[in-house]
Amino acid sequence: MVNLIKCVNVRFFRAKFLHRFSACLFHLSRVLSMHFKGFSSLSRLLPFFASRPKQRTMNFLASAIKNYSSNDVKSKVIFHRNSYYKKYNNYEWDLYLGIYFRDKKDLTFLEKKLIDLVYGEILDVGCSTGYYIPYLMEKGTTTGIDISDIIIKFAQGRGYFNCVVGDIFSYKSNHKFNTITLVGNDIALSGTLHGLKKMLKKFKALLEDNGQVLMIMRQVHTLRYRHVVYTPEYDGRFGIPIKCLFLNVNYFTKFCEKQGFTATIIDKEGKVGNSFYLIKLKKC
C-alpha cells in the first residue's frame, strides 16, 4: 500500500511539473523569439514535455465557451500550434466557439451520418455543451461525459442532465454500452500512442459484445502519426499546452485491429490537407 501511494504521488507531481514546465517553455520561446530569431525553434521541444489535457486545461476553454454563450465580445480563443517538425511549428488559428451551439441542420455531413449509425445504450466522450446530445437521445439512452466540470455544469444548466463529469481513462459505469461516440476529433486527445492504446482498451471494457465505436478524425498526411502541441489563448491569458496525437487514417485502422477491433472507414469529407473520416470500430 505504501509503495502504491508513493507511485501515485510520484506520478501526480511529475504531471504537475510537466504542466508547469511546458507552460514556461512556451512563454520563454515566445519572449526570446521576439528578440532573437534563432530562439524560434525552442518551441519545437514542447511535444517532449506537454501531456494530454487534464481538467484544469479544459476548464480554460470551457470558461471561454460560457462567455461566448452570454455574448461576451472578448470570447475569442486562439490556439498556438507547435511541433517538432519545422513545417508545422509556430502557427496559430482562431477557434470559432459557435460550433458548440449548432442545431442539427448546421452539423456536418459526417456528424449527421455518425448520428444515424448509433444505437442502443450510447456513451458520448467529450460531450462539451451537449449540443448534439438530443439527437443521440433519439437513437437510444445516452450518457455524455466530459473532463471539464465547468462545461458539464453549463450543459446541465441547458437541461442535459445526462451529461456528467468523467475522464474516459478512469470512467466507470455500472452497465456496458452498445455505442461509444467521439463526435469531434477527440481521439487526438489521447496524446500519445500509449495513451491511444489505453483509450482503446477502455473502450473494449465499456462495450457490450459486438459493440461499436463511432468517431470522426482528421486525416494526417504522414506515414504513421505526428505529435502536435496546442496552447490556448483567451482574453490575454494562456492556458496549459495540450499534447495531441494526429494519425494517418490507414495507420490508425491497423493499430486498432491490433487492439482487438475491426476498423472500417465509413465515409469522408473535405479536401486534401483538410479532410475528415468517419470510422467505425467493432469490438471483436
CATH number at residue 225: 3.40.50.150
Among 19, 42, 21, 20, CA closest to 30: 42
- For residues 121 and 254, membership in a common domain is answered with yes
- For residues 139 and 251, membership in a common domain is answered with yes
* pLDDT surpasses 60 at 157: yes
- For residues 67 and 142, membership in a common domain is answered with no
Classify residue 13: in a domain, yes or no. yes
Query: What pLDDT sits at residue 188?
Result: 93
Query: What pLDDT sits at residue 162?
Result: 97
Query: What pLDDT sits at residue 18?
Result: 61
Work out the pLDDT band at 3, boundaries 50, 70, 90. very low
- The whole-angstrom separation of Cα 86 and Cα 80 is 14
* pLDDT surpasses 50 at 10: no
- For residues 71 and 51, membership in a common domain is answered with yes
pLDDT, averaged across the chain: 89
Query: What pLDDT sits at residue 111?
Result: 98
- pLDDT tens, position by position, 239-249: 999 999 999 99
In order of 121, 216, 284, the CA distances from 264 in angstroms are 21, 12, 13
Question: Higher model confidence: residue 134 or residue 221?
Answer: 134
Mean pLDDT across the stretch 71-99?
A: 88
- For residues 45 and 14, membership in a common domain is answered with yes
Classify residue 170: in a domain, yes or no. yes
Classify residue 234: in a domain, yes or no. no
- For residues 131 and 53, membership in a common domain is answered with no
The fraction of the chain above a pLDDT of 90, given in percent, is 71
* pLDDT surpasses 70 at 73: no
Quote the DSSP letter at residue 51: B
* Domain-ending residue, one of 53, 71, 97: 97
- For residues 86 and 206, membership in a common domain is answered with no
- The whole-angstrom separation of Cα 244 and Cα 231 is 11
* Domain-ending residue, one of 33, 67, 97: 97
- For residues 27 and 75, membership in a common domain is answered with yes
Classify residue 129: in a domain, yes or no. yes
Work out the pLDDT band at 36, boundaries 50, 70, 90. low
Mean pLDDT across the stretch 39-65?
A: 87
**Residue 65 lies in domain:** 2-97
- For residues 159 and 261, membership in a common domain is answered with yes
Contacts of 127 (CB under 8 A, 6+ apart): 133, 144, 145, 146, 152, 155, 160, 163
The fraction of the chain above a pLDDT of 70, given in percent, is 88
Place of cell 478512469: 170
Query: What pLDDT sits at residue 32?
Result: 66
* pLDDT surpasses 70 at 132: yes
Work out the pLDDT band at 272, boundaries 50, 70, 90. confident
- For residues 75 and 120, membership in a common domain is answered with no
6 CB-contact burial (10 Å; exposed 0-12 / middle 13-18 / buried 19+) = exposed
Number of folded domains in the chain?
2
- The whole-angstrom separation of Cα 203 and Cα 194 is 14
Query: What pLDDT sits at residue 13?
Result: 43
Classify residue 235: in a domain, yes or no. no
Query: What pLDDT sits at residue 12?
Result: 42
Query: What pLDDT sits at residue 22?
Result: 74
Classify residue 236: in a domain, yes or no. no
- For residues 133 and 272, membership in a common domain is answered with yes
Quote the DSSP letter at residue 239: -
* Domain-ending residue, one of 97, 122, 151: 97
* pLDDT surpasses 60 at 254: yes
Classify residue 274: in a domain, yes or no. yes
- For residues 208 and 111, membership in a common domain is answered with yes
Three cell numbers at 65?
465557451
Classify residue 58: in a domain, yes or no. yes
Least confident stretch, 36-40, 55-59, 279-283: 36-40
